[in-house]
Amino acid sequence: MTALTLSTAGAATLRADALVVGVAKSGKTLVVAPGAEAVDKAFDGRLAAVLETLGASGAEGEATKLPAPAGLKAPVVLAVGLGEAPEDGESFGAETLRRAAGTAARTLTGSKKAAFALPIAAADDAAAIAEGALLGAYAYTAYQENGKDAKKPLAEVALLGAKPRDKAHKAAAERAQAVAEEINRARDLINQPPNDLTPAAFAAVAQAAGKEHGLKVQVLDEKALAKGGYGGILGVGAGSVNPPRLVRIAYTHPKAEKTLALIGKGITYDSGGISLKPAGHNETMKCDMSGAAAVFSAVVAAARLGLEVNVTGWLALAENMPSGSATRPGDVLRMYSGKTVEVLNTDAEGRLVLADAITRASEEHPDAIVDVATLTGAMVLALGDRTFGIMANDDDYRTAIHEIAEEVGEQSWPMPLPAELRKTMDSPTADMANMGVRMGGGLVAGLFLQEFVGEGITWAHLDIAGPAFHEGAPYGYTPKGGTGSSIRTLVKLAERTAAGEL
């Protein structure tokens, strides 16, 4: 895990493998961002000119290395683009700093220590830079043989310009480290091969974290699920030799006045079941437990931060496989709620496990329920692969989550729950079907889940099917593979709930 320190040393005097500075565009001119004054002085005030000669433009995502001149202890200067320079009196946005720090950390893979001299005008800026650097310094190498030439992630991040003796700066850095470490924990789970991360193995990870952080963990195995009547979870897991689990992981605070229930879809591998996915659509389906990973990490983060709110996570874990014992299209499942559901498509399985978990969570009468799931391809078609959709039974709550996501740098968009689409899930055989019309499929899935929310409970649904797993080239602090999407939103939501703002 990458170490984080707040340093009082100057940029010119700190010993490190590289010194990170920011550059921005001001009209057609490249300018050096605040924080890099000592570095620019070492270049005799010509740092921007030298970078322009090397082709730097200051665009976001750009990284330019150059040898350091005499006067700097670090041998290398890395200039990262910050985009357009802000107006006088304004500061660079938190997400701009977060992405720039992530770009720098990725570029410096293999380095032991880097000093970040990016603009810090307030504690929030220090937090954004720390978070971006720690998230950018991520690599999943658990299944790779480390040869002597293998490059490891940046080992240490030193923030220059932050104030280690200032309570706000220190708290911001500690929060950033806790959240980033939990996001990287979730990324590890998402990237882990499904032959090793079975429902039982995931449950064991939650139990271990419970012991480490003082969380109460309860695991329902297949026998307990059958005794309790969890037909949705059991129906989805029926075709696999790896039986399902429902995990309850709870953080409580003695001064808490509200309880937030988080529910994560945890399909550790999704073949589609009897409604088998075609080639080209199943190779990355180890990521179909990203919602459960996000919920798990958010609960642990809440515990590490000591938030004055009760946060209960529900991980609905199953493996969706075809076999002679698998649920068939046309089968009817009796859900934990007692409602019957005709399964028209076994690849619409996430809503079935979530429905049982939502019903169970509702029995505890939390102040709000938020479920997180890689639920529908329709949401990816609607919003692309970097934005998650938000649905809710309360417009104000949906808006609040959207604003929180925007604040923490996660792209999201509020989506409706059109009442007319509910009729398309009517079944002549059961109380309802698990499928409706194809157009608006992401909204239909949300309407299905809403059916299982307890009366009077505020509920929101985050469909993270797009941003949960990144198949392209890394960018900013986002790696290839599992991303940890929605965790920052969930943690900030818990903080707002603790503060009595929601």
The residue type found at 429 is T
Residue 195, C-beta contacts closer than 8 angstroms, at least 6 positions apart: none
| Cα 195 from chain centroid (whole Å) | 23
- With the C-alpha atoms ordered 224, 227, 233, 238, is the resulting torsion angle positive or negative? positive
Q: Starting at the edge strand that comes first in sequence, how are the strands of the sheet with 388-392 ordered? A: 216-220, 245-251, 310-320, 259-270, 368-373, 458-463, 388-392, 412-414
267-292 in b/e burial notation, b at 16+ Cβ within 10 A?
bbbbbbbbbeeeeeeeeebbbbbbbb
Residue 478 exposed, middle or buried by CB count within 10 Å (0-12, 13-18, 19+): buried
* 455/304 Cα distance (integer angstroms): 32
Cβ(236)–Cβ(353) below 8 Å: yes
Beta bridge partner(s), residue 65:
78
Which runs of consecutive H residues, i.e. helices, occur in 321-394?
350-362, 377-383
Cβ(98)–Cβ(131) below 8 Å: yes
- For residue 400, give the 3-state DSSP assignment: helix
Residue 174 exposed, middle or buried by CB count within 10 Å (0-12, 13-18, 19+): middle
Cβ(485)–Cβ(467) below 8 Å: yes
* 161/403 Cα distance (integer angstroms): 29
Residue 470, C-beta contacts closer than 8 angstroms, at least 6 positions apart: 385, 478, 479, 480, 481, 483
Residues with catalytic roles: 277, 351
What one-character DSSP code corresponds to residue 425? G
Q: Which residue has the tokens 């991980």?
A: 315
If one counts every other C-beta atom within 10 angstroms of the C-beta of residue 37, the result is 17
194: which 2 tokens?
Answer: 């499904």
- For residue 449, give the 3-state DSSP assignment: helix
Return the beta strands (E) in 68-172 as ranges. 76-84, 113-117, 156-160
CA neighbor of 18 nearest in space, from 133, 161, 116? 116
* 274/210 Cα distance (integer angstroms): 35
